[in-house]
Structure 1
């Protein structure tokens, strides 16, 4: 080895020794990062078993719901935009890996001019020439710096594809929930309409007693006020129907014309529920999987930033032909070329390289924290949905009884008022109580359904 090359190889050797301890790819496992993970959910029900429910849309046994979810997945514009982001990410992988291949540029040129002076006694001479030149540049990725950068882009691409899967699951869930909300809105509209009819009957009852001198005018005034309030509630119910319909139409990719109708009863809650164990969630949820891929991508960027400290070896070449005649341009005598190699060893770059290493180290820490936060939020969503289902079931049973009692109380109040055994206030309270109980019961039945969908989504269940 000559003295000329000895410092160069010593520099490379020192760099390799310094970097050998910090450029290895770390092994990332969700269970190790989140250790300890409980063996079972803290909220245990007799319906929580070993395997997660797949194909949750079909568990409601509503063909129209299945059709709507399919329509949303095919035509929703947000989902199409997410699919386009996948294509962008895949293109970025190709761009990141492009420096690993030779870069060749081709540049033909033609020039025409004149030799001479401004002295008219000296003849000027025209000239022209043509040339065809190419340039070649190729960095030899000996240390894997470019490869690590491309791997980071590839992992980002996988994360974006996983985001698309999560977006599809979320869209299916929002579509189903919006459909159930539209059904509830229609039922609330029916209840409010019946309440207005009941209040009108009540006004006629009070007016008849008032005309016979059995009831003071105040009773009639209170009955008319109650009727006006019921009509206002009916108008709000109409408004809720049109708003929910338009929101669902946008999810389906339709123009929000408010034409969707849902004159159906709310379906029964599916009896089977499978939740698996918490550790399975780390591999099943798309958002957790995407967070893990982004963490691995930051690991690769950190490696690439460290490898930027090592020498870069490039091959360069130029060649082409030049002639003042198009015919001679293709002759072997007009051909010229030259090939060379170069080595670039960063020594001082204004702290730029060290700054990039520090930035990428911080990015790895950020991605690690994001992964843990995403996993914790996923655990919370499952635990919360499991607990909410138990409480909502208890509430639904209680409100079902309340509706029965409210109907009975209303009938007894009408009888008692007609025979002068009770006051108008008691009668009006019985009508309001019936409306409130019916409305609350419909709402909690719908919340049970939407909460079940939240649980399916939290568990990462497939559509």
Structure 2
């Protein structure tokens, strides 16, 4: 891929989101610069979903599918999706009228003292005046009134210029981004589980290799010790054999420590108590043939992190649109209807009906620069989201191309180490026989033993590296776990 160019606004992607409201964002038009196929080469075909089944390991399949149903990280991501879904519903509700049914009961005591003749007139004219207190000119006039109201109040903010629709579309895009992030977490957990599983299988194989080495070194140490004791071999050979055995035992304990740690890490992923008791295969499996990789352009539609970044970019664009519409007038309609009376029993009587209706038009004139600052902040967030999308796309392409490119290199390395391991193990027998015949010194035996151990250990590591790269390739391709409905492209 060469240079990245930026294309026209992506208005057509979002009409479903908000009618004629479009996001104020520009998407990098990366598809125009993508090659027709991956440069590293890959088989054609559909990208697989349950890729871990290709390894043919029943324990791995069981472990991954168990963890996908009860992993804490996945459950947290699922909770975030539900939060985003609820928030989208909250913003969509702002587009509709709001109605409230109210029942009010009030009792009020009016004190007419100080109003002079008007107070006396009001006090004597109606209501249920209290008995005037004695005191001549200072007497107090008061009365108590009851009031009951039953009303239906309706408010509606008319979204004439699309500000609320833009906010609703942004929340919807953020919900879709959270759904894609859930897919990404599931894929990551599956890949992390597979890596840890194969690391544990390798660690156990390395431990078994170390146990064999300790047994072999122990037998050699015994034979060399016997030869030194009877004067056939120099005392230094006995000391070297003992030192070599001690180093092998120390290496074995280190291998066992690694097995314990990896087993407990797998327990944590499975939400189990970390006792390290995980069942695995006895040996690393053969690496299956490379999977189909699809086309580079399809990768942008399939990778959940790319799709999440695109939804986040569109959400930021809708926020800019909403900020621009805040400069335009807003229209609010209110209405109320019901009954009111001083008697509770009259609330259902139509003769006591009252109602009101009102409209309000507000045009922002001066708000101290608040609206312009909000627009600037929204535009900054949009620009950041656009660049983040471009970065995620490039990273996705890099991961696929890299995983494909090193496939052959890792295979050739494994084959070379397999041949080296076989030759090194044969050399151990030859060197020890030559030592017993007095042809070679004991150091030659030690060197051949160490070389055989290193070659076999490197072969196991190379096989695991191929498996890890294959897992990285499946993760980079982004297949599986379905695509949530409500895609912006619909």
Please indicate, yes or no, whether the TM-score normalized by the shorter chain is above 0.5: yes
For structure 1, list consecutive stretches of 5 or more residues without a partner in the other structure: 1-22
In structure 2, distance between residues paired with 1:279 and 1:101: 40
Alignment of 1:179-218 (within 5 A): 179-218=197-236
In structure 1, distance between residues paired with 2:404 and 2:294: 12
Number of residue equivalences: 437
In structure 2, distance between residues paired with 1:137 and 1:369: 41
Given the alignment of the two structures, is residue 379 of structure 1 paired with residue 376 of structure 2, yes or no?
no
CA deviation after TM superposition for structure 1 residue 376, in Å: 0.6
The one of 169, 176, 181 equivalent to 1:163 is 181
Q: 1:279-299: per-residue Cα shift (whole Å, max 9, x none)?
A: 221112111111111111222
1:454 match:
472
CA deviation after TM superposition for structure 1 residue 66, in Å: 2.1
Helix, strand or coil at the partner of 2:227: helix
CA deviation after TM superposition for structure 1 residue 147, in Å: 0.9
Q: 1:75-108: per-residue Cα shift (whole Å, max 9, x none)?
A: 1121111111111111111111122112233443
1:41 match:
38
2:92 match:
97
2:68 match:
73
In structure 1, distance between residues paired with 2:191 and 2:154: 53
CA deviation after TM superposition for structure 1 residue 411, in Å: 0.8
1:175 match:
193
Q: Please say if residues 34 and 372 of structure 1, whose CA atoms lie closer than 8 Å, have aligned partners that are also in contact.
A: no
Q: Please say if residues 186 and 262 of structure 1, whose CA atoms lie closer than 8 Å, have aligned partners that are also in contact.
A: no
1:145 match:
163
Given the alignment of the two structures, is residue 84 of structure 1 paired with residue 102 of structure 2, yes or no?
no
Given the alignment of the two structures, is residue 399 of structure 1 paired with residue 394 of structure 2, yes or no?
no
Given the alignment of the two structures, is residue 58 of structure 1 paired with residue 53 of structure 2, yes or no?
yes
In structure 2, distance between residues paired with 1:26 and 1:130: 51
In structure 1, distance between residues paired with 2:144 and 2:299: 79
Question: 1:123–1:363: structure 2 CA closer, same or farther, 3 Å change rule?
Answer: closer
From the CA coordinates, give the structure whose radius of gyration is larger.
2
Given the alignment of the two structures, is residue 219 of structure 1 paired with residue 216 of structure 2, yes or no?
no
In structure 2, distance between residues paired with 1:356 and 1:266: 57
Given the alignment of the two structures, is residue 351 of structure 1 paired with residue 345 of structure 2, yes or no?
no
2:486 match:
none
Q: Please say if residues 77 and 182 of structure 2, whose CA atoms lie closer than 8 Å, have aligned partners that are also in contact.
A: yes
In structure 2, distance between residues paired with 1:263 and 1:35: 46
In structure 2, distance between residues paired with 1:228 and 1:337: 97
CA deviation after TM superposition for structure 1 residue 272, in Å: 4.0
In structure 1, distance between residues paired with 2:84 and 2:418: 52
Q: 1:356-410: per-residue Cα shift (whole Å, max 9, x none)?
A: 2222222221111011100110111111111222221121011101111110111
Q: Please say if residues 303 and 478 of structure 2, whose CA atoms lie closer than 8 Å, have aligned partners that are also in contact.
A: yes
The one of 241, 245, 261 equivalent to 1:243 is 261
Q: Please say if residues 264 and 274 of structure 2, whose CA atoms lie closer than 8 Å, have aligned partners that are also in contact.
A: yes
Q: Please say if residues 79 and 168 of structure 1, whose CA atoms lie closer than 8 Å, have aligned partners that are also in contact.
A: yes
The one of 242, 246, 271 equivalent to 2:289 is 271
1:425 match:
443
Given the alignment of the two structures, is residue 441 of structure 1 paired with residue 459 of structure 2, yes or no?
yes
For structure 2, list consecutive stretches of 5 or more residues without a partner in the other structure: 1-20, 114-131, 135-139, 482-490
- Normalised by the length of structure 2, the TM-score is 0.83
Q: Please say if residues 25 and 313 of structure 2, whose CA atoms lie closer than 8 Å, have aligned partners that are also in contact.
A: no
Helix, strand or coil at the partner of 1:275: coil
- Normalised by the length of structure 1, the TM-score is 0.87
2:485 match:
none
Aligned residues: CA RMSD: 2.4
In structure 1, distance between residues paired with 2:146 and 2:355: 22
